[in-house]
Structure formats: C-alpha cells, structure tokens
Chain A
Amino acid sequence: MTKRNPIISVQHVTYTYEEAAHPALEDVSLDIGEGEFVAVLGHNGSGKSTLAKLMNALYLPTEGKIFVRGMDTADDERLWDIRREAGMIFQNPDNQLVATVVREDVAFGLENIGVPHDEMVRRVDEALAAVRMTDFAESAPHLLSGGQKQRIAIAGILAMQPGCIIADEATAMLDPSGRREVLDTVRSLCREKGITVVWITHFMEEAAQADRVAVVSDGRIRLEGTPREVFSRVNEMRQMHLDVPPMAALAAELREAGMPLRADILTVEEMAEEVTRLCPSN
C-alpha cells in the first residue's frame, strides 16, 4: 500500500467515556493519507463513531495523540482550524440542519468562521452545485428526502473547503436509493476534488468500495488493508459478527472443501474466472 502524506494521524489513542468501566477505544493507531477514501467498518458499539468524533476534536483522547494536518486536536487554539479542515457529517439527517432555508444552512459554517458576504454567496452556490442541489437552494429542509438532506449537509461542509470529510454513519438512516445517492456524491468529491474521506459504516457493501478498510471491533482496529485483503479473511470477519461479500464467503467454503481457489475473490466475475481456470477441460 502506498503511504501518502497523512492528513489525519491517530497515534496510540485510548478513549474512555466518563464513568465507563472499559475504554471505548484502546491503543488505536491509523493514518489517513491525503486524497484517500478510507472506510472504518464495525458493528454497533465497536467504537467506530467514537473514533470519528475524536478526529474532529469533538472528543479529546484520554491517552495518545491525534493530528489533523499536523495540528494536535488537544490544542485549544487550533480548534476551529481543525474543525474547518476535517468536516463532519452525522447519522441523523434531520438533526444537523440548522436553518429554515437550504442555502442558509449551507452558509451556516461560513457565517461561523466569518467569511465575507460576497465570497460566502459564491462558495454556497459552488457547494450546492457540487452536490447537485442548486434547484433546491430556496427550499425548506424538512420538505427534502433523507438523501437530499445529507447532500445539503455535505454541501455545508464542502463550502468550508475542508481537506477531509468524516462521515459518521451518514447513510445508516437512509433508504437504499438515498444511500447510493450520498455515497456516490462523496465518492465523486474524493475522485474529482481530491478530498480525503473517512467513511464510518456498518454496511459491508459500502466498505467494499473504499480504497482501504479498517475493521474496528471492541475498541481496537483488528484488520486493515484493501477491501480485497480484508474480506478474504472470512473467518476473522465472522468472529467479529461482520458480513463479507457473498462470493468471498463462497470462496472460503470451497477452499475449506479442498478447492485450491485464490483467496481474494470478491465478485461473481472473479469467481467464474477462477473456476474456469481450475476446470480447463470445459
């Protein structure tokens, strides 16, 4: 894996909630490279959301350090620079929109950091265009669908020109089409504008589309690598109660039954190719 210059660097972080007996995260280290699309996969209560909130300085590590573009999240004076650099989208689309009109909501972050009016108007329009929501600029947020609301939330972050977007289960409350809509939007921002994405999710299908996957379970990072590497470790994933793509599961079963298949099969096409290779007589 090519190690690019890390935009977020998590170094041996432990985080314990107040009055909790066990730490939610224990000795976690993770580097997020510039322009990378990293998925953090884990089931409920694994600590993945805690990790997201640590990256935005909403929580501060109990032990260890987190650096965003070299700025220590524990440094109070850089707090607003850090939050501007690492924008965050949350799970519930209703509970993160502040204003009564879409364009004003997109402007909310810019108002907070004191961007002059003319530049604000320009940036709001650009951000709305980037998420293809220009037609809804004057709508009331409560009339939009869940996917549209999340796209507005993304536009609100985008207007602040961040280096990185952290999506904390941004699709968990959406229907399948809304999920696709939001993931596609973020992926295209990553590809076209080079924005780094940290995609926190419990959907295996979404993690499979990332450049790199980190699997979190019981407060630790258990597996890390490309989706292909991670999903080929079928037994370890199952022990953590996580799904793997159906073809990866089938390949694992066939290998156990004695067929010498490649370990990193993810799609039906790859399976077909591999089976053909093993049975050349057909």
Chain B
Amino acid sequence: MLNNITIGQYYPVKSCIHDLDPRVKILLTIALIVAVFLVHSAIGYALVLGFLYLTCRLAHVPFRMLLKGLKPLRWILVLTFVLNLFFAADGDILLQWQFITIRKQGLLNALHYSLRLLFLVMGTSLLTLTTSPIQLSDGMEMLMSPLKVIHFPAHELAMMMSIALRFIPTLMDETDKIMKAQMARGADFESGNLIARAKAMVPLLVPLFVSAFRRAGDLAMAMEARCYHGGEGRTRLRVLKLGRGDLWASLAVAGLIGLIIVEGIVLPGGLW
C-alpha cells in the first residue's frame, strides 16, 4: 500500500524545460505570476494560457497533469467566482431576481480573480512538475543566500529539506513494517468510524516517532563525525550553471510580459 510514492508532483522526463537552472525557473515563475496580475483582457489571458500550454508541450508533460493540479482548488475557485459575482457595489445591473443582483463589474471581477488564481496555480504547478524537489531546494538556497546577512538560515532550511527527502522512503518502509507487526498482533486499521480509526493509529505513530528521534540523534552524530559544521566554508558537488536555455527562457517570458503590456495599451478596456 505504501509503494510507488512520488514525492511532490515531479514528472521525471528529460526535456529542455527540466534542464533549466532551478534559480531561473523560480524567478521566471514569479515573473509570470506578476504578469498574470497585469492582464486586463481576454486576449491577455489567452496569451498566458497559450504560453503555459506551449511550455507544457516543450517539457513533455501532459497538459492534463497541469489541470490535475487544479483539482484540489476547485472549491476555492468556485467560491472566488461566486463571491465576486454577487458583491460588487456599483456598475450596470445585468440581472435582478428577488434578492440576487448581478452587476457588470461583479461579473468582470469574478472572471479576473478566478482566472488569475487559475493561472497562478498552473504556473507554479509547471515549476514543481519540471523541477525535482532537491533542485528546488538548491535553487531556493541560492536565491535566499543574500538574506544570510540578516541571519536568515538559507543553508539550514535547504539541508533540512534534503534530509527530509532522504528519510521519507526510509520512514515509509518503517511505517509499513510497524503496521504489519501490529496487524499480526490483531490491530485493525481499516474498519470502524473515523474516531476508531484515528485511535488505531496511536500504536503506529508512537513507535514511529520514537524511532524517528533515535534516527535523528544517530544522523546528527554521523554528520558531526564527517565534519559538518553548518553552511560556512562549504563547497558543493552539485553546482548550478546558467546555460543558453536559461537565456531563451528568460527572453520568452520577457516577450510574454511585453505583449501583455502592449496589449493593455493598444486595447484599453480589453474585449469584455
């Protein structure tokens, strides 16, 4: 039951998007999110959607993977849309029926906010689909390292992330073992109501926690024995290098932002 776990939603294939420097990908994703908030018309949204679709094809990631990432958010999207639809205070009235009033401004807001949310999630999904967790934490560490000046623990966070990734499979195996051991002694994890099942987890969680703490102690000692003393003066086996692809990707995103701005000037008010 605990086999085949994938960590995060990384989609492991080879592509030019996967090969981009994680730092560049993180920054470009942020730029893309900002760009989405500059969009004021249907054409702008179409441009963003087209861009995401193309990137997805280039990354050899099926587009439905990107849509799958939206599924947990469907209720938030609906809520955003509905609330904005009903709560605009001014603008022409489009529909009035009993106590329900829908105004034009409300409809526009509803479309804007839900589309922005939609693209925001799709953009970040594309980042996590094409960047392995370890690369992500590397990229974050590098990007946040200037913050070390104000004692922000960039290296420590990345190290914690990497150790967590290393131990997830180990702890999964252990959970499986403990579950089997408890089941062999008559424990029942699968029947009863929610409370009964939660209670059944106690004999699983207690030994798991005890062993996780013991492992942490052992690991800390092993790391110390191998001269670990924090991020200072550390060199790295994995070095991030900017390549030609990173330049092209940056140009593409810059182009997209340029188009969105131009479109905003040429067609003020948009096409709604």
Report A's interface with B, CB cutoff 8 A: 53, 56, 58, 80, 83-84, 87-88, 90, 92, 94-100, 103-104, 107-117, 120-121, 124, 140-142, 156-157, 160
Q: Which residues of B contact A53 (CB under 8 A)?
A: 221
| With A56-B225, A142-B170 already in contact, 10 other A-B pairs whose C-beta atoms are closer than 8 Å | A84-B227, A95-B214, A95-B215, A98-B223, A111-B234, A111-B237, A113-B227, A141-B166, A142-B173, A157-B226
Chain B minimum-CB-distance residue to A116? B235
CB nearest to B226 among chain A residues: A109
Contact with A along B157-187 (1 / 0, CB 8 A): 0000011011001100100000000000000
| 8 pairs of A and B residues whose beta carbons are closest in the complex | A95-B218, A96-B222, A107-B237, A109-B226, A112-B227, A142-B169, A88-B225, A114-B233
Structural contact, A104 and B222, CB atoms closer than 8 A:
no
- Note all chain B residues with C-beta closer than 8 A to A116: 235
Q: Which residues of A contact B162 (CB under 8 A)?
A: 98-100
Main secondary structure of the interface of B (DSSP, over half): helix
Closest to A156 in B: B226
CA distance A81 to B57 in the complex (A): 52
- B256 in contact (CB, < 8 A): no
Shortest B216–chain A CB gap in Å is 9
Instruction: Please measure, in the bound complex, the distance between the C-alpha atom of A113 and the C-alpha atom of B225, giving whole angstroms.
Output: 12
Is B199 close to A, CB under 8 A? no
Contact A121–B218 (Cβ < 8 Å): no
Nearest A-chain residue to B169, judged by Cβ: A142
Residues of chain A with a CB closer than 8 A to B229's CB: 80, 112
- Among A90, A100, A114, A156, the residue within 8 A (CB) of B166 is A100
Interface positions of B from 212 to 252, Cβ below 8 Å from A: 214-215, 218-219, 221-229, 233-239
B147 to chain A, nearest CB (A): 21
**Pair B228/A112 contact, Cβ less than 8 Å:** yes
Q: Complex formed: what's the CA distance from A112 to B215 in Å?
A: 21
Q: Is the CB of A110 within 8 A of B173?
A: no
CB–CB B236/A83 < 8 A: no
